Amino acid sequence: MSEHSNSLLEWRTLWLVGLVLLIVSGSLVILATGTPRQLNSRLRDAFAAYTFGQGYTLVGSDGGIYSYGTSGFFGSESGQHLNAPIVGMASAPDGKGYWLVGSDGGIYAFGSAQFYGSEAGQHLNAPIVGMAATPDGAGYWLVGSDGGIYAFGNAAFDGSEGGQHLNAPIVGMATVPGGHGYWLVGSDGGIYAFGNAAFDGSEGGQHLNAPIVGMAARPDGGGYWLVGSDGGIYAFGTATFYGSTGGTTLNEPIVGITASLDGAGYWLTSSDGAMFAFGGAQFQGAASGMTLGGPIVGVSAPATVDTETAFTGGNGDLWIYNSLSNSVTNTGLAVETGTSPSITPLSTGGYEVAYQGTNTALYLYSPSTGAVDTSQGMNTTSSPAIASSPSGGYKVAFEANTNVVYTYASGASTTTGISAATGADPAITLLAGGSYEVACEGSADVLWTFDTSSHDLGNAMRAGSSPSITGPSGGGYEVAFQGSSDQLYLAGGQSLGPEGSMDDSNPDIGSVSGGGFEVAYETNSNAFTTYDGSGFSAYAPIAANSSPSFAGLPAGGYVGSFPGANGHMWNYSSLTGASVDLYVGVAAGTYPSTAVQF
């Protein structure tokens, strides 16, 4: 990989760019932009497909790369001649690449990471010590030890400490949700905040047992952590202290920190490649004990979210919202009136959508294939459901025009033998063992399931409602449905009491971190609400008689989508506590679909 150079760019124009989540040099960046009314400093979470995981990448001063967990290897500079040692890295937003930066400002781009310029060959007042990427990956910042900022691509220049007196050299940076702001941290723990970054405190002027070597920000920008070379942690704002190696004998000094996506933990790394995991951050491996081409100088946790949301728009077409490009696309494919699409991510990349066409047949859609008519006739008021496997493939459940529930996969349909209530929407999930389970409302308004045979569970359901099913990682499955008493029920017949009183709508259940589940539903007071097995949480207003979608995140937390009371698509994230209007109309009586990438 050759090195590229360019002159200094200090971009001062605010660039409207897309929405993604990524961990970059220890900080979660969240960007939501668009028209002025759509601007929101918190997460705009129209989520359907996520590339997410517990993983991290270490980089050595020689450009060597060491990837663990769900982080991939896309190349390195190990064994190549470098004009200056590598001092930091940042991850590409799609999780399929990264940038390395040298102390001379040279940039090395791998995988999907694109080159937007560098400071290689230019005169610098001080060496580069770190970098961070913009949320859509179309730019990045470099920071010098004098606090100078160099912005490339669509990275906005929001100020710097270049030319100012500093009590100690700058050693790192972190960016804020929204991308228009950043913090710089000095080795004395001094904090310098620019743009939308808020000053929440510092260690400047305080006695430290060891110099500060890096920082990471909370996902909502409400606080940050500083880490010393002894592994001491200093938490500010809403950042929580989860532990440290301060006071512990280390073989080599700590050189970096990166936070987990939900802000419930962090990883520290030392120059020998040892890893220390705290809170919800999970240990995935370490480079300690290996022969390294150079000491480890940085760590990045590329927990990237690339999302698509499928829904029936107000014009009756299938619409797809993509967060990376921050774009809503009308596919131009007409969806049968009153029905909703279902979306699932594919292990090979991309996604597959199942929906009912206006000729009342089951259709499949992906960007690579376009619309495919399966020639499977559907009940005209029923919506299909689709689920996929990490080993490849997918399966669709649908109510045929005979009112019998079928599954469809690999060009063939199979009957479940279940006679469904007219217009019922079946649900399908992948189980931990690799098989699929279907749930639906039978013709007698009772709950049925199907694996290799059909099972009448005997639970009475509200007529015309549809269940939801999930397969927790711990095994088995759990079903949520509206009972005949209009209460939210679980498959075992457990009523959730008065707080589970529902409007005429369908719940959505999803698996969450740790093997459990959570249910999203509309209360009879028209509130988007979740139930986690032990308690309820109510959030935003939701359109009457509508149904939300739900997806749990592997590292904890969840996202949801729902039709708002104003007829627009809305989204909610437990990571930020924000519900956001996307200003896109949703067809009456339909609901969005949300899924999580493997």
CATH number of residue 160's parent domain: 2.130.10.10
Lowest mean per-residue pLDDT among 17-31, 195-209, 550-564: 17-31
Residue 516: which pLDDT band, with cuts at 50, 70 and 90? confident
Residue 592 falls inside a structural domain: no
Residue 37: predicted pLDDT: 25
Confidence check: pLDDT of 504 > 90: no
Confidence check: pLDDT of 374 > 70: yes
Residue 88 falls inside a structural domain: yes
Read off the pLDDT of residues 331-355 as tens digits, 9 standing for 90 and up: 999 999 999 999 998 877 678 999 9
Compute the distance between CA of residue 338 and CA of residue 161 in angstroms, rounded to an integer: 57
Closest of 371, 452, 381, 379 to residue 415, by C-alpha: 452
Confidence check: pLDDT of 10 > 70: no
Residue 271: predicted pLDDT: 97
The percentage of residues in the chain with a pLDDT greater than 90, rounded to a whole number, is 58
Return phi, psi of residue 531, to 5°.
Answer: -130, 125
Lowest mean per-residue pLDDT among 51-60, 137-146, 298-307, 503-512: 298-307
Confidence check: pLDDT of 29 > 50: no
Compute the distance between CA of residue 156 and CA of residue 35 in angstroms, rounded to an integer: 18
Compute the distance between CA of residue 504 and CA of residue 522 in angstroms, rounded to an integer: 8
Closest of 167, 158, 128, 169 to residue 25, by C-alpha: 128
Compute the distance between CA of residue 591 and CA of residue 574 in angstroms, rounded to an integer: 20
Residue 421: which pLDDT band, with cuts at 50, 70 and 90? very high
Q: Are 43 and 572 in contact (CB under 8 A)?
A: no
Residues 337 and 220 in one domain: no
Domain that holds residue 125: 21-300
Residues 271 and 367 in one domain: no
Confidence check: pLDDT of 1 > 70: no
Confidence check: pLDDT of 4 > 70: no
Residues 293 and 344 in one domain: no
Residues 347 and 372 in one domain: yes
Residue 167 falls inside a structural domain: yes
Residue 11: which pLDDT band, with cuts at 50, 70 and 90? very low
> What number is the average pLDDT over the span 585-596?
88
Residue 3 falls inside a structural domain: no
Last residue of a domain, one of 300, 321, 337: 300
Residue 498: which pLDDT band, with cuts at 50, 70 and 90? low
Closest of 88, 89, 107, 87 to residue 98, by C-alpha: 89
* Distances from the Cα of 230 to the Cα of 58, 118, 225, 247, 336, angstroms: 18, 32, 14, 7, 62
Residue 16 falls inside a structural domain: no
Residue 420 falls inside a structural domain: yes
Read off the pLDDT of residues 277-329 as tens digits, 9 standing for 90 and up: 999 888 999 999 999 999 999 999 764 455 678 999 999 999 987 655 556 78
Task: Return the ∠ at Cα 576 (arms to 328 and 260), rounded to 5°.
Answer: 100
- HEC sequence for 538-594: EEEECCCCCCCEEEECCCCCEEEEEECCCCEEEEEECCCCEEEEEEEEECCCCCCEC
Last residue of a domain, one of 271, 300, 329: 300
Residues 453 and 322 in one domain: yes
Last residue of a domain, one of 254, 278, 300: 300
Residue 533 falls inside a structural domain: yes
Residue 14: predicted pLDDT: 22
Confidence check: pLDDT of 21 > 70: no
580 versus 4: the higher-pLDDT residue is: 580
Residues 460 and 335 in one domain: yes
> What number is the average pLDDT over the span 13-26?
26
Read off the pLDDT of residues 256-267 as tens digits, 9 standing for 90 and up: 999 886 677 899
Residues 258 and 335 in one domain: no
Residue 510: predicted pLDDT: 87
Residues 322 and 270 in one domain: no
Residues 218 and 321 in one domain: no
Compute the distance between CA of residue 181 and CA of residue 159 in angstroms, rounded to an integer: 9
Lowest mean per-residue pLDDT among 225-229, 270-274, 427-431, 533-537: 533-537
Read off the pLDDT of residues 443-489 as tens digits, 9 standing for 90 and up: 999 999 999 999 999 899 999 999 999 987 677 899 999 998 888 99
Residue 178: predicted pLDDT: 61
Residue 42: which pLDDT band, with cuts at 50, 70 and 90? very low
> What number is the average pLDDT over the span 545-564?
79
Given the structure tokens 């001062």, which residue do they identify?
A: 12
Mean residue pLDDT of the chain comes to 84
Residues 396 and 473 in one domain: yes
Specify the number of domains making up the chain.
2
Let me know how long the chain is: 598
Compute the distance between CA of residue 71 and CA of residue 74 in angstroms, rounded to an integer: 10
Q: How many CA atoms lie within 13 A of 134 on its CB side?
A: 29
Residue 79: predicted pLDDT: 95
Residue 363 falls inside a structural domain: yes
Read off the pLDDT of residues 138-192 as tens digits, 9 standing for 90 and up: 899 999 999 999 999 989 999 999 999 999 999 999 988 667 889 999 999 999 9
Residue 46: which pLDDT band, with cuts at 50, 70 and 90? very low
Task: Return the CATH number at 347.
Answer: 2.120.10.70
- Cα torsion angle, 571, 572, 573, 577, sign: positive
Confidence check: pLDDT of 41 > 60: no
Confidence check: pLDDT of 105 > 60: yes
Residues 551 and 442 in one domain: yes
Residues 475 and 415 in one domain: yes
